[in-house]
Chains A and B, each alone.
Chain A
Amino acid sequence: MLYSEKVMDHFQNPRNVGKMEDADGIGEVGNAKCGDIMKMYIKVEDGIISDVKFNTFGCGSAIATSSMATEMIKGKSIDEALQLSNKAVVEALDGLPTNKIHCSVLAEEAVKAAVKDYYDKNNIAYDKELFKDDVHNMNEHK
């Protein structure tokens, strides 16, 4: 098999999939040209990510990493969510094929983009350094 059982499980039964009408922060990363786009919605209460949803256009790996990333940040503080690395997501999925690692980077970036959006919308000051490497930001491709 190309993917681990965990990847296939998250791909075939994605957790937290869908839209969120009253999201506090929305992050969209990737671009259709490269093949994967992830949109992440977060709800924030007292600095805690109380709910999270995602929509993904992409391969099995992109959908599975989106699903796993939402599970990993749900109920966590924003600071903890910002620590989420694609490596941790890949490990939680029992690994990905080498040529699929790039698809998992989007999950980490989507979380960061959603938090950044939340900060921006609420005029919360933040360290810009934290968000500088979201290379897949949508706007660069439009």
Chain B
Amino acid sequence: MQVYADNAATTRISDAAKQEMILCMDEFYGNPSSLHTIGQKAAEKLFEARKTIAQCLNADVKEIYFTSGGSEADNQAVLSAAETGKLKGKKHIISTAFEHHAILHTLKKLEREGFEITYLDVHENGLVTAEEVKAAMREDTALVTIMYANNEIGTIQPIREIGAVCREKGIPFHTDAVQAIGHVKVDVQADNIDFLSLSAHKFHGPKGVGVLYARKGMRLFNLIEGGAQERGRRAGTENIPAISGMAVALKDVCDHMEENEKKVSALRDILIEELSKIPHSVLNGDREQRLPGTVNFCFEGIEGESLLLLLDAKGIAASSGSACTSGSLDPSHVLLALGRPHEVAHGSLRLSIDHYNTEEEIRYITEKVPEIVDYLRNISPVWEELEKGERAHVI
């Protein structure tokens, strides 16, 4: 059996999105900036996509900027807010310790340029509170950037409350919603969001395309200079097939949000319930405040890469935060931020499912994972020491 359980890494393109892309390549190949009919047809297609996406987010069409994906949107949002802050003498930013590297590496760059960053603790449950955000605010705070849902463990932050305290203090609020969009309801008005990043390939759209939402009045600075596309804020002839494919994919998931959420969270609960039965295992991140499809466990006494490879040999595609899957000596910064010791963080497994998965597939996973964990523990000297009491169990 083949089971794709790595939807947080990327998803397969939906049939509807694929058909739309082919249609665009065949019939909407014009340049939207051209004045002739073929160009204007493409311009209409582009506008249609912008409108669809704006509606899904409860935003205005003028607040939607197409980008090359989540990373670019994250970079542009953070750098723009930082630049705006700097012009007013504000050089402090609030974020969390477990953001995606598209945010963290951008913040590191700003630190080198003299910005001060407060990285809020995400605690063992992988959540921050609006009160903690408020307490970290200063006169010179230029931006709060906190991810909607975490890509490794799936916890969902209290975005609406955080947005509210930012609004109250007049501090711009950006959220990396790459993992949330298409999986849970996001409303930029109700959630008090000023900037938001999303990426199409996380909800069955194409790769290499995304959106930066910037609320009216929020200033954007260009990462890419050139033509006047995207209201002058992002140059380059628009990738109509990708953009329109993204819009179709997003509309599809937004139209079926409730039923998908219900179905997927029921499957997720089976995963959590069954994998929790493995001795000395722990679910990473809050049990309740989480995405419908993302589950992350640590298993003591084993290493994640070998677990992944053996699962792959059984046809199950998953991912891990172990050092040996990242190429560095450090395990996932997300699991370390939760306070997991290094040796436990190495033994992590992320299963990210969505509405393409079936219960049969989930049962197959819950059958295979315990077998493989057991096998690896049997050949692990660490497990032997744990069992003999020569090493203390941490979980």
Could you list which residues of chain A lie within 8 angstroms of chain B, going by C-beta atoms? 8, 11-12, 14, 17-19, 28, 32-39, 55-63, 99-100, 103
- Cβ-defined contact, A35 with B324, below 8 A: yes
- Cβ-defined contact, A56 with B324, below 8 A: no
Could you list which residues of chain B lie within 8 angstroms of chain A, going by C-beta atoms? 301-303, 305-306, 309-310, 313, 322-325, 327, 329, 331, 342-343, 346, 379-384
A125 to B324 alpha-carbon distance, docked (Å): 38
Contact of A56 among B331, B343, B379 (CB under 8 A): B379
- Cβ-defined contact, B384 with A59, below 8 A: no
Chain A, interface SS category: mixed
Smallest CB–CB gap between B169 and chain A, Å?
41
Smallest CB–CB gap between B101 and chain A, Å?
17
Contact of A55 among B325, B331, B381 (CB under 8 A): B381
In the complex, besides A28-B381, A59-B325, 19 extra interface pairs with C-beta distance below 8 angstroms are: A11-B306, A11-B309, A33-B342, A34-B329, A35-B322, A55-B379, A55-B381, A55-B384, A56-B380, A56-B381, A57-B302, A57-B380, A57-B383, A59-B303, A59-B324, A60-B306, A63-B306, A99-B327, A103-B324
Q: Which residue of B lies closest to A28 (CB)?
A: B381
A110 to B382 alpha-carbon distance, docked (Å): 15
A66 to B324 alpha-carbon distance, docked (Å): 16
- Cβ-defined contact, B343 with A36, below 8 A: no
Chain B, interface SS category: helix
- Cβ-defined contact, A32 with B302, below 8 A: no
- Cβ-defined contact, A32 with B324, below 8 A: no
Q: Which residue of B lies closest to A98 (CB)?
A: B327
Q: Which residue of A lies closest to B327 (CB)?
A: A99
Smallest CB–CB gap between B345 and chain A, Å?
9
- Cβ-defined contact, A59 with B322, below 8 A: yes
Q: Which residue of B lies closest to A18 (CB)?
A: B379
